[in-house]
Copies of this chain bind each other. A is one copy, B any other.
Amino acid sequence: MARVIAERSDVVPQLAEVFRAYGFEGASLARITAGTGLGKGSIYHFFPGGKDEMADAVLEHIGLWFREHVFVPLREDPVAAAGIGAMFDAVARYFLSGRKVCLVGVFALGGERDRFAARVGRYFQDWIAALAQALERGGRDGATALALAEDAVGAIQGALVLARAADNTDVFMRTLERWRGRLA
């Protein structure tokens, strides 16, 4: 009988979806084995530290994705406005236009914050800093750039809350387009 041998890196995105769907406390081993298709034995082979290590790996994976697709373009695109445009495109794509929720935001609001404080804090801090730097390169003064960056990143998180509350992604896309305009 043929069988597929998994790697740790294959499991992380699947774990991310389980944590996103149920939260940290709600992501039971039963749901994790269902979502990954692996038995407990395999899961604990990859993550001997249990759920904490799984969630940590997921947060690291998300951090890397944002670094590559959002923070780096913001910091390094020679045309600052193009980097900002890339950010909005990447965000719309990543959150599936508002259907998918931000796991870092979920962890920030929940009791998991303290446990994962370092990664959660750094994610937003890096995002705001990268956007502020791009806005400054685009010609704004430092204080305005920082305020706008804080507002835009917060607005994206807030729009995800509203979209999920209303079960309607339109509010997320409308918010994204309004902020695209404000930052242009």
Contacts and interface: CB of A to CB of B under 8 A. Distances in A.
Contacts of A25: 22-23, 25-26
Given A117-B167, A162-B124, A151 B147 contact: no
A110 interface: yes
A23 B110 contact: yes
Number of copies: 2
Interface size class of A (residues with CB under 8 A): 35 or more
A2 interface: no
A57 B156 CA distance: 30
A124 B167 CA distance: 12
Interface of A: 21-23, 25-26, 101-102, 104-106, 108-111, 113, 117, 120-121, 123-125, 128, 147, 150-151, 153-162, 164-167, 171, 174-175, 178
Given A106-B109, A128-B162, 15 more contacts: A23-B110, A25-B25, A105-B109, A106-B110, A109-B160, A109-B161, A113-B164, A113-B165, A124-B161, A124-B165, A151-B155, A151-B175, A154-B155, A154-B175, A157-B161
